[in-house]
Structure 1
Amino acid sequence: MTAPVIVAALLAVAIAALISALVTWTSRPLLQRYALARPNARSSHRVPTPQGAGIAVISATLVVAMTWAVWTNVAIPPALVIATVVIALVGFADDIVPLPVLVRLVLQAGCVAAVVFTAPDDARVLPALPLALERGLIVLAGIWFVNLVNFMDGLDLMTVAEMVPVTAALLLFGLIGELSWPAVSIATALCGAMLGFAPFNKPVAKVFLGDVGSLPIGLLLGWCLLELAWHGQPAAALLLPAYYLADATITLFRRIARREQFWSAHRSHFYQRATDNGFTVPRVIGDVFALNLVLAALAILTVRSGSMTVTPLALVAGAVAVGFVLRRFSRPQAS
C-alpha cells in the first residue's frame, strides 16, 4: 500500500461523488416529469417522488472506474460493462412502464450469465465441482443477488447504508492486495457515487435510485464479491453482504411457505416491518449501517488473520449480529 495509491483512491471517490451529485441534481426535474413513483399500500414513502437517480450513480461509477482502470493499466471485463448498461436500461424501462416479470428475469439472467461465463476458467470458488456446474450455480446466485438488492432498496438511504461500508471494505482489501484491481476500481467508484447520491436520498428523500440504479448496483457489487471469493476469500465475500442476504432470503422463503405471490410487491422485509413496529427511518438506517460496519470488521478479520479457527468464529459472530438486528426489527417498540 503506497501513499500515491491511497491518494488516487480518495480522488476517485471524490470525483465519482461529484459526478453523481451533479447528474442527480440536473436530472431531477426530468425524473419528476417522466419517472414519478406514486405511493401505494406497499410503499414506505408518503408523497410522489421521482425515481431514476440510479442513472447518475451508474454513470459516475462506470466513468470513474474505467478511467482509473486505464490509468492503472488494468482491464475491467467488457462483458461486465455491457451487462451493466443493458440491465440499467431494463431497469429504466421498468421505472417508466412496468415490464412483465418473465421478461425482466430473462434479460437479467442473460446479463449475469454473460459476466460469469466469460470469466477465466481458473477463476474458481469450489474447484471440486465441475466448472459448468459451479458457473451455473453462480449464475443463479447472481440473479438472486441482483434482485435482492432491488428488493432491499425500499427505504430512504437504505442502499447507501449498505453499499458504502461494503465498497469501502472492498477498497481496503484491494489496498492490502486481497482483491483484483478491476474490482477495486468498481468498488471505489461505486462508493463515491453512492456518497454523491446520499444527500438527495436522506429522509425525506427528494429522489430514489429506481430499478435503473438498484439492479446494476446489484450486478456490480455481486461481481466484486465474486472476485473476492475467486481471490481465495469466500468467507469475507459472504460476511460483507450478510444483512441483505439474510433479510431478503428469509423473507422470500417465508412468503413461499405462506403460498404468497412472492414475486409481487410487499412490505414484509424486516426493515419494512421495523418501520411498522415503531422504528423511525433514521434509526433503521443507523442500525443497518452499524451492523454493516461490524460485518466489514469481521470480514477484514478473516482476511488478515489467515487462521482456520478465526474464520468459522467470524462467520458465527456475523450470523449472530445479523440475527440480533433482524429480531430487533421484527419486534414492536415500547411506547
Structure 2
Amino acid sequence: MNITFYLFLTLILLGAELLYLRLARHFSIIDVPNERSSHTSLTTIRGGGILFWVAALGVFIYTDYGYSSFFLGLTLAAAISFLDDLHSVPNRYRIGIQFIAVSLLLRETGVFPNENWMLLVALVVGVGILNAYNFMDGINGITAFYSLVTVGTIWYWQSQTAVEPDDSLFAFMTIALLIFTYFNARRQAVCFAGDVGSVSIAFVILYALLQLINQQQTYLPVLLLAVYGVDSVLTIGHRLCLGENIFRAHRLHLFQLLVHRLQWPHLWVSALYAGVQLGINGLVLLLVDSPLTTQLVAAVLVLSALVITYVLAKRQIMSRC
C-alpha cells in the first residue's frame, strides 16, 4: 500500500459514508432519545458506523475474498444489529445470530475448542464482549476515540511481531474510524455509530485480539479492552444488585454519570477513557517479552486500579448528586 492507495481508499470510504447519511436522512433513520441517551436531538442519524462493515467488505475484496469466515460472521452480526437499529429485535434472535457470528470468527482464527464446555465458554465470552462494547457506545466520541486507540495499538503490535504483516484490515478500519470520528466526535454529532457500528468494530477488534493471543501465546492482549471491560462488568453487577433488567436502557455507566451528574462535556469523557486505555496499552507493549509471572502481576495491578477507581468515583458522584 502507498500514499496514493490510502488517498483513494479515503475517498471511497468517505463517499460511502456521505451516501449513507443522505439515504438515512431520506428514510428518517434517526436516533430517538431514550433513558440511556445522552442527547436530546431528534435529527442525529443512527447507524453511521455501518462504514466499518463497508471497510470490511473492502478488505474482503482487496484480499481476493480472504477472511471468508470472519467476513460472513461480521456480516451476520452487522445485519442483525442494523435491523435492531431500525426496529427493536427480540434479544433471543439478536444474541442467537451473534453466537453463530462468533463461532465463525473462532473458526477463522483457529481458536475452536474441541471440548463442548470450552466452546460454550468461548462463545459466551465473545458475545459478551460484542454487547459490552455496544453498551459503552453512549456519548459522542467514545466509540471513535477508544476504537482508534485499540485498533492503532493492535496494528502497531502486529507490525512489530509479524515477519510479513497483513496491514489491509487495520488500514481499512483505521481510515473508516477517522472518517466516522469526523462526523461523530463533535458537540452536536452528525451521526451515531448505532448498534451496527459498535458491534461491527467490536467484532473486528475481537478477531484481532484472538490473532494476537495466538501469536504471542499470552492473554495479555485482553488488557487492551481493560477500561471498557471494567466499566461494563461492574455496571452490570451494580444493576443486578438493584434488580434491574440489564438489557434495558439506563444511565449507570461511570461515563454516563460523569456526563449527566457532573455535566462534563462528552468529548472530555471520551478522551479520558481513550487516554487511560492508551496508557494501559503502552504498559502492555512494554511487558510483551516479560516472564509470565510479571505479566500476571501487572494485569492484576492494572485491573485492581481500574476497579478501585470505578468504585470510588461512582460512590462519590452518586453521593454528591
Pick closer, same or farther for the CA change 1:204–1:307 going to 2, 3 Å: same
Which structure 2 residues correspond to residues 1-335 of structure 1 after superposition, within 5 A? 8=1, 17-32=10-25, 33-48=27-42, 49-63=44-58, 65-66=59-60, 69-70=63-64, 76-117=66-107, 119-120=109-110, 123=111, 131-177=115-161, 181=165, 184-202=167-185, 203-278=187-262, 279-303=264-288, 305-323=289-307, 326-327=310-311, 330=314, 331-332=316-317
Please state whether the residue corresponding to 1:34 is helix, strand or coil. Answer: coil
Q: Secondary structure at the match of 1:260?
A: coil
Per-residue deviation, residues 271-328 of structure 1 (Å, max 9, x unmatched):
111112312212201211211211210121122x333353134313432553465357
8 Å Cα contact 1:79/1:115 also seen in 2: yes
Q: What runs of 5+ residues in structure 2 fail to find an aligned partner? A: none
Identity of aligned residues (%): 23
Letter in 2 for 1:38: V
CA distance 1:9–1:208, change in 2 (3 Å): farther
With over 3 angstroms needed to count, the CA separation of the structure-2 counterparts of 1:10 and 1:229, relative to structure 1, is: farther
Per-residue CA deviation, residues 217-254 of structure 1 (Å, 9 max, x unaligned), is 22111111111112235333211011111111111122
C-alpha distance in structure 1 between counterparts of 2:274 and 2:5, whole Å:
22
Matched position secondary structure for 1:332:
helix
* RMSD value, Cα: 2.8
Report the alpha carbon displacement of residue 11 of structure 1 after superposing the two structures with TM. Answer: 7.1
Deviation at 1:56, TM superposition (A): 1.8
Q: Distance in 2 between matches of 1:147 and 1:243?
A: 15
How far, CA to CA, are the matches of 1:212 and 1:179 in structure 2?
A: 33
Segments of 4+ in structure 1 off by > 6 A?
A: 9-13
Give the SS at the match of 2:317: coil
Question: In the TM superposition, what whole-angstrom CA distance separates every residue of 1:18-75 from its partner, at most 9, and x where no partner exists?
Answer: 4333322232132123311122332111101111112222202430x335545xxxx7
Q: Specify whether residues 62 and 9 from structure 1 end up closer, same or farther in structure 2 by C-alpha distance, changes over 3 A only.
A: farther
Given the superposition, is the C-alpha separation of residues 170 and 261 from structure 1 closer, same or farther in structure 2, using an over 3 Å criterion? same
Alignment check: 8 A CA contact 2:73 2:102 kept: yes
Structure 1 range deviating more: 85-94 or 225-234: 225-234
- Do 2:82 and 2:195's aligned partners in 1 also have CA atoms closer than 8 Å? yes
- For structure 1, list consecutive stretches of 5 or more residues without a partner in the other structure: 1-7
Alpha-carbon distance in structure 2 between the residues aligned to 1:167 and 1:180: 18
Aligned mates of 2:146, 2:7 — CA distance in 1:
19
Using the TM superposition, give the Cα deviation of residue 15 of structure 1 relative to its aligned residue in structure 2, in angstroms.
5.3
d(CA) in 2 for partners of 1:95, 1:136? 27
| Residue type of the alignment partner of 2:283 | L
- Whole-angstrom distance in 2 between the partners of 1:256 and 1:155: 23
Q: Separation in 1 of the partners of 2:109 and 2:10?
A: 29
Distance (Å, rounded) in 2 between the aligned partners of 1:60 and 1:306: 35
Distance of 2:182 and 2:72 partners within structure 1: 29
Q: CA deviation at 1:159?
A: 0.6
TM-score by length of 2: 0.87
Aligned counterparts of 1:238 and 1:142: Cα–Cα separation in 2: 12
Task: Provide the TM-score with structure 1 as the length reference.
Answer: 0.84
